[in-house]
Every structure is written in structure tokens, then in C-alpha cells.
Amino acid sequence: MGILSSLILIPLVGMVVVMMLPKDNKWAARWTATVFSAVPMVQTIWLTWDYFFTKRDMSGLASSLADTMAYVEGPFEWIPSLNIQFYVGADGLSVPLLALTGLLSLISILASFGIKERVKEYFAFFLLLEAGMMGVFVALDFFLFYVFWEIMLVPMYFLIGVWGGPRKEYAAIKFFLYTLFGSIFMLVAILLLYFNTEPHTLNILTHIENGSSLPYVLQMVCFIFFFIAFAIKVPVWPFHTWLPDAHVEAPTAVSVILAGVLLKMGTYAMLRISWPMFPDALQSLALWIAVLGGIGIIYGALVSLAQKDLKKLVAYSSVSHMGYCMLALAAYNSAQAISGVMFQMVSHGLLTGGLFLLVGVLYDRAHTREIAVFGGLGVKLPIYTSIMVFFSMASLGLPGMSGFISEFMVFVGAFGASSVHPYMPYITGISVLGVVLGAAYLLRMVQRVFLGPFDMSKWGGLTEMNIREYVTVVPLMVLTLWIGMYPKPLNNLVSATLENLMEYMAR
Amino acid sequence: MTEFAFLIPLLPLFAFAMIVFFLRWNEKVASGFSIAMILTSWVMSVWILFETIARDGAPYEIFFHLTSFAALNFEVGILVDPLTAIMLIVVTTVGSCVQIYSLGYMHGDPRFSRFFSYLSLFLFSMLGLVLANNFFMIFIFWELVGLTSYLLIGFWFEKKSAADAGKKAFITTRIGDLGFIVGLLLIGTYCQTFNYQGVFQALGDGVMPAGVLTMAAIFLFCGAVGKSAQFPLHVWLPDAMEGPTPVSALIHAATMVAAGVYLVARSMNVFVHSADASLVVAIIGITTSFIAATIALVQNDIKRVLAYSTVSQLGYMIMALGLYGVDTAHGHHSPGFYAGTFHLMTHAFFKGLLFLGAGSVIHAVHTNDIQEMGGLWKKMKITAPAFCIASLSIAGIPPLAGFFSKDEIVASTHGHPVFYVLTLAVAFMTAFYMWRLCFLTFFGKPRDEHRYEHAHESPKSMSYPLAFLSLLAIGAGWVGIPGLPGIGEFAFHAEPYHTHVDVLGMLIATTVGLSGIILAYFVFYKKAIDADKVAERFRPIHTFLLNKWYFDELYDLILIRPIMAIGRFLWTFDARVVDGIVNGAAWLTMLWSDAKMWFDKWIIDGAVNGAGWIVRKSAAGMRYMQAGQVQFYALFVLLMIVIFGIAKIFVNNWWPLLVALFAGGALLLGFTARRSGDDDSAAGAYEAEK
């Protein structure tokens, strides 16, 4: 069995094992889940290593799209009558996201050790979620892709709905239905493609190669349908309102996964599927995508500015940060912009994951996330404060950390993409405002929570982070600094694949 | 040594890392290590300056390739040319003095080690900034100095005002950085490189249309406006005085705020292509200079007076650079570039000295309010003379450092009469408010006996740096003496420029400075003129100046409140409208499904159930026909006959009626049967089974 299949299978096996454990033994469930998510993480690290050192140049040389997949498993017959195949593969686009998924899954499971109720079910669901995420990032068959895309909703629904906060049912149902609503469009688009190819096929790569020969109207319809499905996941303004609810109600670790990985599936799917597949539609709609991105950046930041709840602030900041991705995605013929998307995806996964973990740390101790009740925590919790300031600074795009290089690439790329549309520089110029607003809402939060006078009688009992909590955030800090200071490895990791994909986008 | 110039910023970075991870538990070791590192950097800087002179100013550049995104290369590299060499000296000198001074000033602070780690981090960023060889890298360090400035302004973060000031500084400078970013984007897009030389060459080749170039230059200048606290973004600097005084001296007087000036000087080759952009620079410079000087006239907080003075002096430098751009674009010679960079250096020394002196005074009397000081000369035998030397220097009295550089600033306004007049006006005000400060602080009678009694000279760690900087405040300008083996001329110049001696100009400038001092002497020492009466006479103006031209209030009104309001509005909008649409769609779906459910229950299922119900009820009625009761049979027959008879008379087609009546009768009976409690047991059994 190949490594990609095992990335999906191992968490699934883990899920089964966890379910068979005795109900009362919480530690058994925790550690089993840890082991079964640590293995895929090690595998993704190996995959990244192997891809970086031996395979990444393949993409540039390949003649057909299937050859650019550095790792391919399949296609195996699955449901022959419908020509459905088990077909997975990975290239420079998937590898970093697989690594991100592997890392964040393990971190989230470690961060979930505080879960006290129905521990077994919790970790079983979590491992199912991991399997689904891995599957999305490797699937090369539409049916497979759709199955993985949908299967994640189930554990997510329960993770939010059972272990969530006060309004968990509402948030869980909203998340579930909203995403499902988008998926229907995707399904219709898939069927349209299926019946418009001869022989009928669900092979994504074949569709990408044939995409530009489709009639314009069909391209537009499919593009828009896919876009709705993916945009809800990203989330692109104005499809974002499930996100604050889901993030706020979800338990910490689930928020981390939600922000760190699930949102990336939307942008990943755009880059993998709809962008290279429908170049004519992309060209027609690029301006509007940029506009939506720009609105998302400014709007998300302004709304963050008004938040009273720490977690909601981070949630809305995601809307803003994913707006950068959309802005850059609109500049589809600029290598800087498309690299910027990848950088921003990875960077946002690390930073927002870190921020959610840290908010969770505080919530576990103070049992509130209300910004106004805190103040001066820097006196009592110097290390926690330093780490929080670190992530805030990274998130507001301070150079030397990953957020800056990502945003800068996005801006450079989108600004120079006047060949996409002459308005691109102006939209980018306005979007740059997000940089100041980002500083405003994050520093405002830092100031009101950590600086100022400290109320010893109220918060004197707060304790510093424990070892397990350090273990969860330190890897994210290291990677943030690494990408920020030395972006070359990540850039090299993705550039060959992206250049190749861009050829299809700019057909 | 120049090959090792990259070590100059790395040594403080090393100190930062060592303190954070290993040394912070031992304050003495932490601070000692930090000082050792910066002193090493200082020695290297001096060495490099001499090597640069020996190289006759030829730039030394070394870089390595960081990464490329398509055609755009990102490099990390250093460029050592005369401007950089001088800036290295300035930063490391003031940096060393401030660190040594901090040993005394910060003594006993619970976060002593952290202070030194922050200072080291700042010095790393600042030195990196001046060594950078490309716009991308300067921007990185530009932001990092902003971070350290934020951390250090808010060093005593328990104080709300300090935390507020840090945030204000960061966000305000970031507004300027917006422009910087857009400028970088324009440069990157058109020139396809960020390397200084590459960009200048590309611009020389005319890759950028003139209009775009002007925009790019102005956008770049926005960065400088934020960092160097120029109008209209000058509001953060006075508030930044909430930070510890050594920080004010190092970051908010000598080095970081000068980074904006440095940026303009560094990218002078962009500005010289656009007279319009340069004129904007010059106008912003002199406007800032004038506004800040007027505000400084009436402030009572010793550090705020100095802060406004800094803003004003930075405006001078910016103006000089702008005028250089204007003149050069028109093909004239101008001393502006020399003046701006030269003044940047001398100002760093005397303003650093002024702040450290002010810190020493504050350390002694525990107040910032000059109205509560007075007569301190007797108590502070080192601080007071040092402060007065710096004040003479900034007033432009020969032969102190400020005289030479300010003279060049005045000279750079040659041919621009409006600038000339305003420059002299600012020079007069500067001399006046600086000496107002001196007289109120060090001379006359103590106005607060209690504070005076407890005042004392600061420890050696604080007074020695003062003495050392005094020497520089006196002598740093001598490099600009014409005829001397032209260090100044060389150091600040890429192209040959001959410092001319304009005796009349010098005399005028000096007279203006002197008269400012003399006026201050009469008002605040001799009390020949009552300052309060003058203030009373010009009450509206005085209030206006005292409130700093109401910039803060204005920004609060037109920027901060609206943005917060928009944020809150959008949040409501998000919940009510955007999410409202989602929830509304969900509600409509629910409504639709409810309607369908109702329809299902009452119409579809109702038809089925209704049919069953009718059958059941009529069956219940018809049961009686087979109940075996003869009386009932007889009654039935009788009824039927009567009904048929009537029906036959009135109705022709009587069959349907017959059926209807039959069914109706059965139903009626069914009901009566139910009412009497005699329900059909079969249906009951069925219900029970269900």
C-alpha cells in the first residue's frame, strides 16, 4: 500500500481501535489517538522531505499533468460501471498541506487532552476527520474527492454539536447545512462534467486537460458552481457567517483544525480543480474574485475591530486573512501571487492555529473569553503574554515571520497583475489597508487583555502554560519563524507545481 | 573589517537571544553582556568608517540570494557606503551610551534584564536597517524597529497611558507604512528588483513613467512620514515619551525616528527624478518643523518639549533633503543632501544628550513638569552643563556641532525664500524654547522646595555617558568645517560638492539663534517680561498651542471614532443582514417544510385518514342494521318508506339522494353511538395495537 493511501487509512484504523477501547479508560483513548495521528505526521514529514530532495523537479519536466504528480496511487477500479476510480496523488500543491494537516492534527489531539466527557467518541471522530482531510488533499477522482469532502462534515458536526459551547447545536447545524448547501452545487458541476465528456470520466486530471475545450457557458456554470462550494469553505465574503459561530462554539482543538486545515481545503480545491480547469471562466470572473477578496480583507478586519470575544476576534481575522488568498487567486497569471496563496495558506494555518490554541489556554483557566474582563495579564503570565504577542505580531504581518512574506507576495503579485484586469492594482492598493486594520485589532486586543493595570484579586489564580501546552504551540512558532526568515525551502517546494498549474490557468 | 560588517547587527541579536534564553535571571551578566556586544559593534563601526574613508567612499556590497518569486529576486545583503558608515557610528555610539546610562536609570526595575534584551533587539533592527542593501530588507528592519519601539514605549505596560502610547505609535507608523508598501509594490512591479543600485539604474533608464515615479516617490515618503513623525502623522512621538527615558533618547530622538530621514536620503536617487515629489517632501518637512516648534513653545513636560523639538528638527532634515531633490531635478547644485544627513548625525548626538540629561533630571526630582523644577544647576554639576551645551548646540551657536549642520540647513533653502524665512523662524523658536527649558530647569529659584531638597546628581553610569555625548555635541560638527580634510564633505556625499563659506548667512543664522536665547533669558531668568501675562494676552493662541493644534482630537473625531463605528456597524450588519440572509433562508426553508408538513398531515394524509374515518364511522352506524333488534328494523323500514315517498314526490332522480341519506344516517348513528360511549371496539383495538 502506498504512502498516500496509508495517510487516509491509518487514522481510520485508529478510529476503529479507539472505538474498541474500554469506555472508562480516558488515557487509553488519548494516547491511542496520539499514536495514530503521530504516525501520519511522521509520514507527511517524510513525504515533504522526499518530495523536496528527490521529486520536486519532476513537475517542471513532465509533459502530461498526470506525470507531474510526484506520488500517484491508482487509478484502481472502484465502481467500474460508472467509471469511478480510487485515484490519489500528491504534488507540490498537496504536500505542504498534507504536512500542515499532519502537524495540526497531532497538535489538536494533544490539545484535546482536557476533554473530559465521552473521550472515546471524541477521539474517534477526530481521527475520522483527519482521514477525511488527508483524503481531500490527495484525491484525484471527483467521486473520491466528493466523498472525502462530505465525510468530514459528519465528525465535524458531532465535534461541535456535542463538545461545543453554549450555542453548539445551532453552530453545528449551521456549519453542516451551509457546507452541504455548497456541496450540492459541486455535485451538480461534477455531474455536468461527467456527462459532457466522452467517455464519461471522473478523473480530475483529465478534466483539467480537457477543460479549456468545453463550451464557454458550460465553463462558466461549472466554475460558478464549484466556486460556491469552495467559497463557502474558505470562506469568501459573503459566505462567511457560519465561521464565527462554528469557531466560537467549537472546542479549542476543533477550532484549530477548522481554521488551520478546513479553510485551506477551499483554496486548495480552487487551485487544484476549478482554476486550471476553466481558464476562460476564470479570466472572465477574476476581477470579481479580487473584489470579493478585497472586501473580505477590509470587512473582516473592521468587524474584528468591534469584537468583544477573543475567539470571535480570531475567527473574523480568518475572514480577513483568507481574503488575501482570494485577492491573490484572482491574479492567476502571477507567479508571486500564486506562491503567495500557498504561503498564506500555510502561514494562516500556523498562526491562526496558534492563536486558537492560546485563546483555549486562557479559556481553560479563566472560563471566559470576554476581552473586557481581562487586563494586565502580562504581569502575572509573562511567558504566555510573550507567546500571544508573538502570534499577534506574526498575524499582523511583522517581517521575519510567515505572515509578512505571505502578505507581501500576495500584494506584489496582485498589484502587478494588471494584465488580468486593469483595476487589479487599485483593488490591491485598497486592500493594503488591511495591514493597518490588522495591526489595529490585534494590538487593541493585546493591549486590553495583557497590558494596563492588573487585577490581582480577580486573576491572581491564573497559572502559566504547562508543558503539554508548550508542546502544542512551540512547533508552530518555530515554523512561523522559519518560513518568515528563510522562505526559500517552502517556495522551492511549491514553485514547480504552481508554475505548471499556472500554465493551465492562463491558457 | 568591512567584510564582517554583517556582524554589527548580529552581535546585539546574539545578546538578545542570550538574555532571553539564558542570562535573564542574572541582571548583571545580562546587562553586561548586552553592553559588551554593542561596544564591540561600536569598535567595528569605527574601524569600518576608517576603512570606508580609506576606500575613498567606494560602496561595498555583499548579498546572498534569499529566494525568487518568478522574476523578482529577494536578497539579504549589506551595503557599506559613507552614509551607512556614518549611520553605524551614530547608532552604535548613542546605543552604547544609552545602554550604559540604563544601568543606572533602570536600576531596581523588576524587568531590568528584559529592558536590555529589548534594547539589543532594537539595535539589531536599527543596524540592520542602515546596512540593508535593498528596499525589501530595509522594510523588514523598518517594521522590526517599529516592533521594538512598541515594546519599549509600553515597557511599563501596567500604566495605561504607556500601553496606549505604544499602540498609538505602532498603528500610526503603520499608516505611513501603507504608503511604503505601495511604493515598494510600484518599485517591484516596474523595476523587477528591490536592490538600491538596481532600482536607481532602472529608474535612470526610465522604466517608470514620470507620473508613476512621482507617485512611487511620494508613497515611499509616506513611510518616512510615519517613522520620522512628520505632519500629519507626528502625533505618536510626543506620546511615545511614556517609555523609559533611555528609550526616548535612543529610539525616539537619535536613531529610529531618523530612519525616515535615512530612507529619504537613501532613496534620494528616486526623488531627484521628480521635482514634484521632492517639493512635497520639502513642504511636509518645513510644515512639520514649524508646527512642532510652535507647540514646543508652551509645553511644560520636559520630555514633551524635547519630543516636539525632535519632530521639528526632523522636519528640518526632511525639508533639506526635499529641497535637494527639487534643486537637483532642476539641475541646480544644492547642499540639501549634505545638510540633511549632517544634521541627522549632529542631532542624534545633541538630542540624545538632551534626553539623557532630562532623564537624569527626572531621576533626581521625580517629575516631568518643568514648573516644579528650577535652580538645579547647583545640585547637578554634570547634568546641567551637559544639558546646556546640548541646548547651545541645538540653538546653532558656534562652534558647537549644531551650528555647522543648521547652517547647512539654512544654506539649503537658498533660492527658496519662503522656506528660508520659515527655517529662520523655526531656528528662533528652537533657541527660545530650548532655553526656556534650561532656565526653568536649572536656573532661578527652586519652585518646589521639597523636590529640590531631594534632588541629587545621578550615578556615574548615568553621568559619564552625558559627559561623553557632550564632547560629541560640541565637536561632531567640526567634520563639516570647510577646508578640513573633508570628512564631512566625503561622508555625506556620493558626488563632489564644495562646502562654500557664506559668512553673511552664518551671521544671520547665529544672530537668530542668539536672539532666541536672549529673549528666553529675559522672560524666564530676568523675568523682565511676564510669560503668564503674554499667555493671557494671547489666550486663544496659547490654548491652541497647549492643546497641540488639536491634532489628537481631530484624528479621534475624523478617524478613530468613525472606524470603530464602522467596525461596530459592520458587525451588526454581519449578524443582521449577511447572517440574516443565511438564517432567513434557513427560516424560509423551515417555513416551507412546515407548510409541506401541514399539507402532508391534513391534506394528503388527511385524505387517507379521512377516508378511513368515514368508513369507520359509517360502519359503526350500519352495525345497528344487523344488531338483531326488530324494533329498529321496523323503524328503519318505516323511515325509508316515508323518505322514499317524499323523495318520489319532489325529486326525479332519487338514487343519489338515497345513497347520501343512507350514508348520512349511518354516520349520524355512528356519532350517537360514540357519544353514548358505545365505540366500535374493532377501531379501539386497532388504536391500542398501534
Q: Mean pLDDT throughout B237-266?
A: 90
pLDDT of B683 over the 50 cut: no
What counts of helices (H) and strands (E) characterise chain B? 31, 2
Q: To the nearest 10°, report the CA torsion of B325, B328, B334, B339.
A: 30
Cell readout for A342 is 500557498
Q: Which of A340, A433, A453 sits opposite B160 (nearest CB)?
A: A453
E-assigned strands of B84-186? none
Inter-chain CB proximity A411 and B175 less than 8 Å? no
Q: Is the pLDDT of residue B142 over 80?
A: yes
Are the CB atoms for A131 and A33 separated by under 8 Å?
no
- Total count of residues recorded for chain B: 690
Q: Which of A303, A447, A452 sits opposite B570 (nearest CB)?
A: A303
Mean of the pLDDT values across residues B307-313? 93
A163 Cβ contact list (under 8 Å, min separation 6): A115, A117, A118, A122, A250, A251, A254
State how far the Cα of B154 lies from the Cα of B247, in Å rounded to an integer: 11
pLDDT digits (tens, 9 = 90+) for A267-307: 999 999 999 999 999 999 999 999 999 999 999 999 999 89
- Looking at residue B313, its pLDDT comes to 93
> Does residue B647 carry a pLDDT above 80?
no
Question: Looking at residue B690, what is its pLDDT?
Answer: 45
B492 pLDDT higher than 80: no
Measure the CA–CA gap between B239 and B166, rounded to whole angstroms.
Answer: 8
Interchain CB distance below 8 Å, B567 and A305: yes
**B76: enclosing H helix or E strand:** strand B72-80
Q: Which of B421, B418, B285 minimizes the C-alpha distance to B340?
A: B285
Torsion of CA A165, A170, A171, A172, to 10 degrees: 100
pLDDT for B676: 47
Give the relative orientation of helices B401-412 and B302-329 as an angle to the nearest 10 degrees.
40
Nearest CB to A488: which of B67, B166, B175? B67
Q: What is the mean pLDDT of residues B169-181?
A: 91
**pLDDT tens per residue across span B514-523:** 999 999 888 8
Asked whether the predicted pLDDT for residue B682 surpasses 50, the reply is no
Q: Quick one: pLDDT band at residue B45, thresholds 50, 70, 90? A: very high
Q: Provide the 8-state DSSP code for B459.
A: P
Q: Does A345 score more than 50 pLDDT?
A: yes
Partner residue opposite B171 with nearest CB, options A306, A412, A440: A440
Q: How confident is the model at residue B502 (pLDDT cuts 50, 70, 90)?
A: confident
Does the structure show a pLDDT above 50 at B678? no
Q: Which three cell numbers stand for residue A501?
A: 498549474
Pairwise pLDDT comparison (B218 vs B666), residue with the higher score? B218
Q: Average pLDDT over chain A, rounded to whole? A: 90
How does pLDDT run across A412-445, given as a tens digit for each residue? 999 888 888 889 999 999 999 999 999 999 999 9
HEC readout, A270-285 = HHHHHHHHCHHHHHHH
Residue (of A324, A292, A320, A294) closest to A306 by Cα position: A320
Interface test with B, best of A305, A312, A341, A380 (most B CBs within 10 A): A305
Coil, strand or helix at A203: strand
| B661-678 mean pLDDT | 65
Distance CA(B127)–CA(A129), nearest Å, equals: 48
DSSP for A103-160, please give it. HHHHHHHHHTTT--SSHHHHHHHHHHHHHHHHHHHHB-BHHHHHHHHHHTHHHHHHHH
Domain boundaries, chain A: 3-505
Percent of chain A with pLDDT over 90: 53
Closest-CA distance, B571 to chain A, in angstroms, reads 5
User: How many helices and strands (H and E) does chain A possess?
Assistant: 26, 2
Whether the pLDDT of residue A214 is over 90: the answer is: no
Spatial CB neighbours of B412, under 8 Å, sequence gap ≥ 6: B319, B320, B323, B324, B334, B335, B336, B339, B340
Summarised one tens digit per residue, pLDDT across range B343-401 is 998 999 999 999 999 998 988 888 888 888 888 888 888 888 999 999 999 988 888 88
Q: Provide the 3-class DSSP secondary structure of residue B456.
A: coil
Q: How many CA atoms lie within 13 A of B269 on its CB side?
A: 18
Q: Region A97-109: what's the mean pLDDT? A: 94
Q: Any CB–CB contact under 8 A between A487 and chain B? A: yes
Averaged pLDDT, A182-198: 90
Here the cell at position B160 is: 495605561
Q: Which residues touch A445 (CB under 8 Å, ≥6 apart)?
A: A310, A313, A371, A392
**Residue B427, pLDDT score:** 92
Q: Cβ A241–B582 below 8 Å, yes or no?
A: yes
Using one digit for the tens of pLDDT, what is the confidence trace for A53-86? 887 776 555 567 777 788 888 788 888 888 888 9
pLDDT exceeds 70 at position B258: yes
| Secondary structure string (H, E, C) spanning A401-429 | CHHHHHHHHHHHHHHCCCCCCCCHHHHHH
State yes or no: ipTM above 0.90. no
Interface test with B, best of A177, A388, A415 (most B CBs within 10 A): A415
Angle at Cα B442 formed by Cα B441 and Cα B448, nearest 5°? 60
Grid coordinates given for B157: 505596560
More confident residue, A87 or A197: A87
The predicted pLDDT at position B306 comes to: 92
- State the pLDDT confidence band at B547, using cuts at 50, 70 and 90: confident
Tell me the pLDDT band of B322, cut-offs 50, 70 and 90: very high
Q: Do B325 and B271 touch, CB atoms closer than 8 A?
A: yes
Report the interhelical angle of B27-54 vs B112-131 (nearest 10°).
Answer: 20
- A with B: how many residue pairs have Cβ under 8 Å apart? 139
Residue of A180, A303, A390, A433 for testing the chain B interface, max B β-carbons within 10 Å:
A303
Note the pLDDT of residue A324.
Answer: 94
How far is residue B514 from each of residues B83, B235, B395, B517, B663, measured CA to CA in Å? Answer: 31, 30, 8, 5, 124
Question: What mean pLDDT do residues A106-125 have?
Answer: 90
Determine the average pLDDT of the residues in A456-461: 84
**A310 close to A449: Cβ distance less than 8 angstroms:** yes
Q: Which amino acid is at A178?
A: Y
Check residue B375 and give its pLDDT: 82
How big is chain A by its Cα radius of gyration, in Å? 22
Report the pLDDT value the prediction gives residue B673, as an integer from 0 to 100.
59
Distance CA B357, CA B458 (A): 10
Give the CA angle between residues A28, A29, A30 to the nearest 5°.
Answer: 95
d(CA A473, CA A107): 8
- Residue A350 contacts residue A390 (beta carbons within 8 Å): no
Residues B369, B301: contact at Cβ < 8 Å?
A: yes
Q: How far, in Å, CA of B575 to CA of B466, rounded? A: 59
Identify which of B319, B87, B113 has the alpha carbon closest to the alpha carbon of residue B225.
B319
What is the spatial distance between Cα B618 and Cα B609, in angstroms, rounded to a whole number? Answer: 14
State the pLDDT at residue B481.
66
Are the C-beta atoms of A303 and A234 separated by less than 8 Å? no
For range B155-176, the mean pLDDT:
90
All residues at 6 or more sequence positions from A85 whose CB lies less than 8 Å from its CB, including other chains: A74, A75, A76, A77, A78, A141, A143, A144, A202, A203
Q: Is the pLDDT of residue A496 over 50?
A: yes
Q: Which residue has the higher pLDDT, B650 or B586?
A: B586
- Pairwise CB contact (< 8 Å): A435 & B178: yes
Is pLDDT of B25 > 90? Answer: no
Task: Quote the CA–CA distance of A363 and A469 in Å, as a whole number.
Answer: 13
The one-letter amino acid code at B419 reads F
Residue-wise pLDDT for A240-259, tens only, equals: 889 988 998 999 999 999 99
Give the helix ranges, DSSP H, for B443-528: 449-454, 460-475, 487-491, 503-520
Distance from CA of B77 to the nearest CA of A (A): 14
Contact A303 B571 (CB under 8 A): yes
Lowest mean pLDDT among A278-282, B168-172, B272-276, B645-649: B645-649
* Average pLDDT over every residue of A473-485: 93
- Other CB atoms within a 10 A radius of the CB of residue B447 amount to 15
Distance, in Å, from the CA atom of A8 to the CA atom of A37, rounded to the nearest integer, reads: 11
Element (H, E) at B410: helix B401-412
Query: Which residues of chain A does B162 touch, with a Cβ-Cβ cutoff of 8 Å?
Result: 451
DSSP A309: B
pLDDT confidence band for B310 (50 / 70 / 90) = very high
A196 interfacial to chain B (CB closer than 8 Å)? no
Q: Which residue in B258, B273, B289, B279 sits closest to B321, CA to CA?
A: B279
Q: How long is chain A?
A: 507
Q: Does A298 touch chain B (CB under 8 A)?
A: no
Q: Which three cell numbers stand for residue B286?
A: 518645513
If you average pLDDT over every residue of chain B, what do you get?
Answer: 85
Name residue, grid cell 573633508: B486
Distances (CA, A) of B625 to A460, B159, B419: 89, 99, 122
Say yes or no: A332 contacts chain B, CB-CB below 8 A. Answer: no
DSSP for B551-609 reads HHHHHIIIIIHHHHHHHHHHHHHIIIIIHHHHHHHHHHHHHHHHHHHHIIIIIIHHHHH
Give the three cell numbers for residue B685.
383495538
